[in-house]
């Protein structure tokens, strides 16, 4: 993230897309989903972090074996996170092309 002048001590909002939340990988957070929505190819799990009033949702594979109110380990990768200031303006995030795994873009490139 690119720092901005005058942001020290200010509240920031962490944003992550539902499809970037995974079960058991990345930086682990334990939570218990309160609602599970089975949508065929995908399952959406709604939960909140301990002590937080805001809910988040995770877009998971449709066949995932989770239940409402049963603890699960969810994970995120820092590279998938976005930071927003108090006005909702996103911080700039840059990725060097050398950091991109070309096998993900073109599996036959290896």
Residue extents of the structural domains in the chain? 13-109
**Spatial contact of 60 and 42, defined as CB atoms under 8 Å apart:** yes
Q: Which two tokens stand for residue 37?
A: 């929505």
104 membership: H or E segment, kind and range:
helix 102-105
108 pLDDT band (50/70/90 cuts)?
A: low
43 pLDDT band (50/70/90 cuts)?
A: very high
The CATH superfamily holding the domain 13-109 is: Nucleic acid-binding proteins (2.40.50.140)
């995932």: which residue's tokens?
A: 64
At residue 60, does pLDDT exceed 90? yes
């Amino acid at each position: 993230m690119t720092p901005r002048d005058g942001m020290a001590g200010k509240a920031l909002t962490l944003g992550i897309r539902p499809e970037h939340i995974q079960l058991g990988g990345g930086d682990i957070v334990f939570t218990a989903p309160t609602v599970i929505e089975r949508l065929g190819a995908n399952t959406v799990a709604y939960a909140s972090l301990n002590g937080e009033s805001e809910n988040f949702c995770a877009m998971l594979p449709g066949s995932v074996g989770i239940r409402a109110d049963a603890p699960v380990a969810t994970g995120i990768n820092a590279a998938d996170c976005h930071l927003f200031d108090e006005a909702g303006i996103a911080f700039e995030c840059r990725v060097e092309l050398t950091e991109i795994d070309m096998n993900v873009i073109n599996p036959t490139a290896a």
